[in-house]
Structure 1
């Protein structure tokens, strides 16, 4: 398994230059904004305005901090997203704009290249140990808040915004919260055997 610490994440301008994104993990590791297979990132949205477009990419968005946003996506009815709503998935290559509901937000973005990869994202609030089954492909666990311990040869402790990327041969991971914790579990798989 790989452990990615919040302090080590890379910050960069949005593709459209309208803000700053914090890249948590990307594949391939050297990929840029136009050639990744998958990417997990966070963005601070300070102002209402357009989203960057990514050709051939599917995206899932969740609000991590702030009151929320209303997304206006070409071909979809306006959609309000906040910390209590379900995650929202949509194509990243259609015209999209966001209106802030009550000030700046921080969001989580999971993106995969449609021709090669698929993804799913689940938010988990845990107060007791939970076993997370890993599957073919890549499993990414982001600790949003609280702290968790993952037993291993050397136990791993994840704090707020730290991330674990499971090895493909890990059958499952036991995640033990210290008090309570909120996790995002991201599963990324290949299409037609491309894991």
Structure 2
């Protein structure tokens, strides 16, 4: 008989685990130096899993970084980037204002300077190979406690920004991520107002 797991005010029905989902706890992220050596980032996932970020043999890399001071961003040739601030008051990338929870796409070939508005921020970013994969990042908020999604083919990430939420039977706290592989129906649950990002990566 399936039971229930209660955490963060969520009551989630437990059953057989879905092998197409992978839980990625914030505490388990791999800490790596920035390419330009001016900071560190927490690598959440890299695709394919055999890829090594320093070797540059990845299709995409999802990560979160703490930006404590204004600094230039690393360059990544032949890549595009999507970036969003998920904690803090935002920053400016060159002439573009980047308020919290607003994904911004830019070329990895470009020289970018990050200038903080008011104190450090934490960002969520994905670097991906131009022309080899299509990536989308959206900022979402629970307006009802259960959301049913029919995911398209590809790889999907759900990143919990605030509070707690569940993706299927996986319970996420702030900064945790669930990866979902392939086209399938997925149920999300969370308290009203809980915020999260949905990142979809579709290799060509």
Give the aligned CA root-mean-square deviation in angstroms. Answer: 1.4
Task: Give TM-score, length-normalised by structure 2.
Answer: 0.84
- Following superposition, the deviation at residue 64 of structure 1 comes to 1.1
**Distance in 2 (alpha carbons) for counterparts of 1:161 and 1:99:** 23
Contact 1:147 1:180 in 2 (8 A): no
The aligned counterpart of 1:47 is 69
Equivalent positions of 1:49-68 (< 5 A) are: 49-68=71-90
Deviations 1:37-79 (A, max 9, x none): 011101111111210001111101101112211111xxxxx11
Is 1:90 matched up with 2:106? yes
- Closer/same/farther in 2, CA of residues 48 and 150 from structure 1, 3 Å limit: closer
Higher mean C-alpha deviation, range 20-29 or range 123-132? 123-132
Deviations 1:53-108 (A, max 9, x none): 01111101101112211111xxxxx1111215x31101111111111111211111
Is 1:13 matched up with 2:27? no
Q: Runs (4+) of structure 1 moved beyond 6 Å?
A: none
- Following superposition, the deviation at residue 179 of structure 1 comes to 4.9
Equivalent positions of 1:109-128 (< 5 A) are: 109-127=125-143, 128=145
The aligned counterpart of 2:164 is 147
The aligned counterpart of 1:159 is 173
* Secondary structure, counterpart of 1:115 in structure 2: coil
**Distance in 2 (alpha carbons) for counterparts of 1:143 and 1:133:** 19
**Distance in 2 (alpha carbons) for counterparts of 1:110 and 1:180:** 25
The aligned counterpart of 1:135 is 152
Task: Give TM-score, length-normalised by structure 1.
Answer: 0.87
Aligned residues between the structures = 181
